[in-house]
Chain A
Amino acid sequence: MKPTTFARGFLVATWAGAKHLLRRRMTLMYPHVENYPTQQMYAYDPKKNVAVSGWRGRHYLDMDKCTGCQLCFIACENISEAIEMIPLPETDYPQNKKKIFPSVDYGRCVFCGFCVDACPFYALYMTPNDELSETERNDLYYSPAELSKPPPLFPAPRVNMKLDLKRGAHDER
């Protein structure tokens, strides 16, 4: 390699990196701000036979609609075995004669969403909340009562990724 070629290549490579010192960066202070591609709930429309785009995080169970048909349980059976039907004899929902509701073990769930696709009664959704870390493994087990709580509001502001061809990718505040 000629010395001039060597020097030119070295300068080009260094300059390509040095230019980035002047650019804005996409660095998020994570617990204080969060980035999600979408804030929609993942849902399924059994009439149209197609799902609605949304983030596949923690489930949301509508106990007023769940009939205890176990289709979500059957869908999960060979994928991750996370869903278990548990009896709640004290509940009094007219559509659920068997009085059984799904519970989800998030230590096992792979968030594929095929349980939502299996539900024909608009009872199961997936919410954008995927911050489910716990210190105890047992706490990852969500009972029907916990699943039917509405998804929590996020205290941290959410930012989107902004792509700028000249100034690079950075967060949009």
Chain B
Amino acid sequence: MSSTNEFAAVFEREEPPEGKLKVSFGPQHPGSGQFRIILTIDGDIVEEAVPDPGFVHRGVEKMCEYKTYIQNIPHIERPVIHDSSGVLFAYALAVERLLGMSEKIPERAQYIRVIMAELNRIVSHEYFLAILGIFLGHSTAFTWCMGDREALIDAAGALTGARVTFSYLVPGGVRTDTPPGFEEKLLKACDYIESRIPVYKQMMFDSPFMKMRMEGVGVIGRQEAIDHGLAGPTLRASGVDSDVRKDEPYSLYDTLDFAVPVRKEGDIMSRLLLHMDEMEQSIGIIRQAVRRMRPGPVKLPLRGQVRGAVGDAYARTEAARGVNSYYIISDGQIHPYRVRINTPSGRNLAIMARLLTGARVADVPILHWSLDYWPLEADR
């Protein structure tokens, strides 16, 4: 389905049957994000959909083999810039397991990591809501979500020194200690986002027009979601209670008190509401972490080049879009021998062809975006 040859075969097939039309959705569509779907449509109904990813393949896995463990950091986060701490968390944990120092990470560093991961989850979910608003023709949602996202980016910028490409989580801890006044700024931003969530719900989910567009559209059943191997909010919106933070707790997540929101309907509306629920939970986690943080060191001293021991390491975290995992093999050099990256977006692509078949053309953008599929992350 996803190979270029198959795409060519579909595209070069004879003319579509009488009365049908072949449409290439993307790759330059402002929302599809360098990704295209070849649709065969009959009137307003999609008869066949062939997703065609691979336009933004950068060879991240191969490039990792030529860079040192620290040089990989700015480069690994680039495909998923609005969830940069979420993806770096898994990488940092994998490198620490490889070096055998995962038990020695200072507690303060772990709390800051949790804060940054949850902050990035909220930022990424706000971005999700904003773009979905655009696809629904709801520009107000776009401007509000993008504007409110600035509150958290502002707090994170004071800590890390960048707006989205933080490069902040490194093997051994985090790069900087918190500047004075950071906690107040962060908590204020959390209060602000929390006060905005009911407003989003009023604006987007009470509106009868939005309900008509989203309720009962793109339903994924529970068993179907499991069979296709979906991940993250898409999976949880179909009634599967699966979250790496609870199932295999890493870092300090087993000491923090939070719930995993699950919804049963499996349609676009439930996926959206699930993002809101997760934002509320993340705000709770940030507040707990800020309250429990004590002064102390934030980084282990790593002298000279990081040189991995001979062996392999695997780490799995719950990034904003779902399960994100890194598998690193080292042969004792200053750079890894092999890095395998498994991203949630690649998994969610599996159901796209099924979901689009039989849908209306106007629903294609929202169905595509509601799956949490980010082409840059999936192609890597």
Contacts and interface: CB of A to CB of B under 8 A. Distances in A.
Interface in B139-170: 140, 147-148, 150-151, 153-162, 165, 167
Given A17-B140, A112-B167, A50 B299 contact: yes
A165 B151 CA distance: 12
A53 B203 contact: no
A114 B203 contact: no
B288 interface: no
A13 B204 CA distance: 7
A33 B189 CA distance: 22
A37 B176 contact: no
Contact of A50 (B160, B175, B209): B175
Q: How large is the interface on B (under 10, 10 to 19, 20 to 34, 35 or more residues)?
A: 35 or more
Interface in B218-260: none
Interface string A100-126: 000000000011111001000000001
A5 interface: yes
Contact of A113 (B71, B167, B179, B192): B167
Contacts of B67: 78-79
B149 to A, nearest CB: 11
A150 interface: no
Contacts of A53: 158-161, 176-179, 182
Label chain A's interface by main secondary structure: mixed
Contacts of A111: 162, 165
B299 A163 contact: no
A79 B179 contact: no
Interface in A5-40: 5-6, 8-10, 12-13, 15-17, 26, 35-38, 40
A55 B175 contact: no
A161 B151 CA distance: 8
B264 interface: no
A10 B297 CA distance: 53
Contact of B206 (A9, A49, A50, A52): A9
Given A13-B203, A16-B203, A49-B301, A26 B140 contact: no
Contact of B148 (A40, A52, A54, A169): A169
Contacts of A80: 74
A132 interface: no
Interface in B103-137: none
Interface string A122-134: 0000100000000
For the residues of B in contact with A, the DSSP-based class is helix
A4 to B, nearest CB: 11
A12 B155 CA distance: 32
Contact of B202 (A16, A56, A110): A16
A112 B88 CA distance: 14
B281 interface: no
A6 B211 CA distance: 10
Contacts of B151: 161, 163, 169
A51 B147 contact: no
Nearest to B148: A169
Contacts of B301: 49
Contacts of A77: 71
Contacts of B162: 56, 111
B20 interface: no
A55 B75 contact: no
B207 interface: yes
A9 B299 contact: no
A1 to B, nearest CB: 6
21 contacts: A10-B207, A13-B202, A13-B206, A16-B199, A42-B161, A49-B302, A50-B176, A51-B176, A52-B176, A52-B177, A53-B158, A55-B157, A79-B67, A79-B71, A112-B165, A112-B167, A114-B71, A163-B191, A163-B192, A169-B148, A169-B192
Interface string B81-117: 0000000000000000000000000000000000000
Contact of B68 (A13, A38, A50, A78): A78
Contacts of A42: 161
Given A53-B160, A110-B165, 18 more contacts: A1-B211, A10-B207, A13-B202, A13-B206, A13-B210, A16-B199, A16-B203, A52-B176, A77-B71, A78-B66, A78-B67, A80-B74, A112-B73, A114-B71, A117-B175, A161-B154, A165-B191, A169-B151
Nearest to B210: A13
